[in-house]
Amino acid sequence: MNIRKMNEEEVNNLLKYFEERFGIKKEVFDEYNFYKTSKKVWIANKSLESVKLEKIYLESLGMHFATINKKRKIFKISTDASQIFGKQATKNIVEITDEKLIDVLRGFDLINFESEAEDGYVLLKYKEHILGVGLKNKNFIKNMIPKERRLKT
């Protein structure tokens, strides 16, 4: 796998996007380094710096943090990252009602759903829990919770 540590400019662009999109302050990530492949961003504790990565064949590194959309110059936060770091978010959060919770957990999209969040990627939140990510377009939210994490019945 062709994975490399992101340079300072790349990290600044990534963290600027997450601060503008979700209000997550850059300081939240002070203890982490970011690595990337052509399509994904990985996050790992800075203690990993001492490992000489070029001498190791890697399938992955740390936790999948985001997927890169080069055309639109944006990032889609991963479900894991949304659940860990989404607690720090202050905007573009969609509050899921009790009535819609089971639908979201089953993977259904939200149609005619009113939310103040901006169009684009949003965090789906139920009470104090971040469930995952959605893609909002007006009053439609595409559920992006992975199939393997959805309720089966």
Range of weakest confidence among 44-58, 60-74, 86-100 = 44-58
Same domain (yes/no): 129, 63: no
Structurally, how many domains does the chain consist of?
A: 2
Is it the case that residue 59 has pLDDT exceeding 70?
no
pTM for the full predicted model: 0.90
Chain centre distance of CA 107: 17
CA separation (Å) from 146 to 22, 35, 43, 95, 103?
A: 20, 22, 19, 19, 14
Assess whether pLDDT exceeds 90 at residue 17. yes
Structure tokens at 99: 């009535």
**Are residue 52 and residue 96 in the same domain, yes or no?**
no
Q: What is the pLDDT of residue 58?
A: 67
Is the pLDDT confidence value at 61 over 90? no
Q: Are residues 96 and 79 located together in one domain of the fold?
A: no
Between 110 and 59, the higher pLDDT residue:
110
- Per DSSP bridges, beta strands 63-69 and 140-143 are unpaired
- Answer with the one of 46, 64, 87 that is the final residue of a domain: 87
- Residue listed under structure tokens 């819609």: 100
pLDDT at 137 over 90: yes
More confident residue, 44 or 3: 44
**Domain shared by 75 and 98, yes or no:** no
Of 87, 107, 133, the residue at which a domain comes to its end is: 87
Q: Which residue has the higher pLDDT, 59 or 12?
A: 12
